[in-house]
Amino acid sequence: MENKNFELDERKEKILDAIIRNYLETGEPVGSRTISKYTDLNLSSATIRNEMADLEELGYIIQPHTSAGRIPSDKGYRFYVDHLMQEKDREVTEMKEFVIEKTEKMEQVLKQVAKLLANNTNYATLVSAPAYNTNKIKFIQLSHVDDEHILAVIVMNNNMVKNQMIDVESSLDNETLLKLNLLLNSALNGLSIQEINLGTIAKLKEQAGSHSTIVGEVLDALANALNENEDLQIYTSGATNILKYPELSGSESATNLLSAFEEKEELLSLVTESLADQESETGIQVYIGNEAPIQTMKDCSVVTATYDLGEGVKGTIGIVGPKRMDYENVMDNLKNLKSQLDGIFTKPRKDEKS
C-alpha cells in the first residue's frame, strides 16, 4: 500500500522476484509450490496461487498454457530490471581477467573486447568502433607513387590513418605536388569532416588553379575514405551462442539473428539507436523483447553500453541473448568494460615497452 509503486504491494513484489529469479535459473515455468518453498514468506502454495493469479491479471507473468507454471512477461522482466534486480557494484579493479591488453591497434582491442564479453556471458556480443566524425584532420600528404597514381595519406587527430590512391592523367612534378600539399594542409588542417563546407571547397579549388581537378579528387577521396570506414566497423563474437538457447534456436529467428551477426549491416541500426537512447545515468540501455531497435531481435533481450572517448567520440558495446538473460552479470560486465574503454584511446600511453 504505502509502497512507492501503485500496482504491487511488497508481498507481490517478492513473489514476482522469486518467480523471475527461479525462471532465470531453470528456464522452466515455475509453479506455486516451488515458490512456496523457495521464499522465506512461509506461505502455502494455495496462497501463492492466488497472488500469481493477480500478477497474471496485472500482466507481469504469463501462463504458457493452462496447468503450466508461470513465466515472466516482457513487463515482468522490465519491472525486474528496473526495480528488483540488485546491481552488484564491484569495483573494477577486482576483476583481473578483464584487463585489456593495450595494443597499438584499436581494431585488436575491440575484437578482444567482443570476444572477452562473449566468453564471460555466453551470449552474442558486438562492439562498434567509435564514430570519429567530430575528429579533426591533423595532416594530409600527397605522394608520387608512379606515373598514374598519387597516394593521399590522411592522419586524423587520434592518429588514425587513411589512405586513398588517386588516378591521374599525367604525372605531376615534385614541385606541384609540394605546392598542393602545402595548400591542402593550410586549408584543411584542424577541420572536422563536417566543417568542410562548400565555401571551403570553392576557395580551395580556386587557389589550386589548374590543378583544381586533383583537389576535387582529394576531397572526394577524403569523404570517401572516412565515410566508408565509419559505416560498418562492427566487431562481433559468440554469435553461435544463440543456438545454445532453445527458446531462440528453435524458431527460424535464430537463423535471422545469425545472419544479422554475419552480415553486420543490420546491427548498424542497433548501434545508432542505442547511441541515441542514452538517458540513463549509467550509460547502459536494456531492451526487452519488442523494445529492441530491430525487428530481428524481438524475441531477445538486448543490453548496450555506450563508451565515450571524449570530445563526442562514442561507440557501443552490445549483448544479445534470450530474454531469460542473466541481467545482473551482463550489466556488470558491460559497466566494467565500458569504464575500461572510456578514454583508453585518447589517454596518453607511455607505459609501453616500445
Partner DNA sequence: GTTAGCACTCAATTAATTGGAGTGCTAATA
Partner DNA sequence: TATTAGCACTCCAATTAATTGAGTGCTAAC
Residue 194 DSSP label = G
DSSP-based three-state secondary structure for 164: strand
Member of 3, 189, 240, 295 binding a copy of itself (CB under 8 A) = 240
Contact status: 149 vs a copy of itself (CB under 8 A): yes
Member of 2, 67, 281, 348 binding DNA (CB under 7 A) = 67
Give, in degrees to the nearest 5, the angle at Cα 161 between 159 and 165: 160
Burial class (CB in 10 A: 0-12, 13-18, 19+), 227: exposed
Q: Which three cell numbers stand for residue 168?
A: 591521374
Contact status: 233 vs a copy of itself (CB under 8 A): no
- Number of residues engaging a copy of itself in binding (CB under 8 A): 31
Q: Which does 125 bind (CB under 5 to 8 A by kind): DNA, a copy of itself, none?
A: none
The CA-atom distances, in angstroms, between 62 and each of 58, 76, 153, 187, 245 are 10, 9, 59, 64, 20
CB of 162 to a copy of itself, least distance (A): 9
CA atoms within 13 A on the CB side of 181: 18
Contact status: 52 vs DNA (CB under 7 A): yes
Member of 8, 15, 17, 31 binding DNA (CB under 7 A) = 31
CB of 9 to a copy of itself, least distance (A): 46
What b/e sequence results for 95-110 when a residue is b if at least 16 CB atoms lie within 10 Å of its CB, and e otherwise? eeebeeeeeeebeebb
DSSP-based three-state secondary structure for 101: coil
Query: What is the residue-wise DSSP string for 1-68?
Result: --SSSSS--HHHHHHHHHHHHHHHHH-S-B-HHHHHHHSSS---HHHHHHHHHHHHHHTSEE-SSTTS
Strands in the chain per DSSP E = 61-62, 71-72, 124-128, 137-146, 149-156, 161-167, 234-237, 284-288, 300-308, 314-322
Within 10 angstroms of residue 191's Cβ, the number of other Cβ atoms is: 13
Which H or E run includes 310? none
Member of 2, 40, 42, 105 binding DNA (CB under 7 A) = 42
Member of 44, 133, 163, 282 binding a copy of itself (CB under 8 A) = 163
Footprint on residues 189-208 left by a copy of itself (CB under 8 A) = none
Q: Which does 134 bind (CB under 5 to 8 A by kind): DNA, a copy of itself, none?
A: none
CA atoms within 13 A on the CB side of 342: 13
CB of 12 to DNA, least distance (A): 11
Member of 47, 108, 112, 181 binding DNA (CB under 7 A) = 47
Contact status: 265 vs a copy of itself (CB under 8 A): no
Contact status: 143 vs a copy of itself (CB under 8 A): yes
CB of 28 to DNA, least distance (A): 7
Contact status: 71 vs DNA (CB under 7 A): no
Q: Which does 69 bind (CB under 5 to 8 A by kind): a copy of itself, DNA, none?
A: DNA
Nearest CB to DNA, comparing residues 209 and 246: 246
Contact status: 257 vs DNA (CB under 7 A): no
75: β partners: none
**Residues near a copy of itself, by CB under 8 A:** 104, 138-139, 141, 143, 145-146, 149, 151, 153, 155, 159, 161, 163-165, 167, 217, 236-240, 243, 255, 258-259, 261-262, 352, 354
**Residues near DNA, by CB under 7 A:** 28-34, 42-47, 49-50, 52-53, 56, 63, 65-70
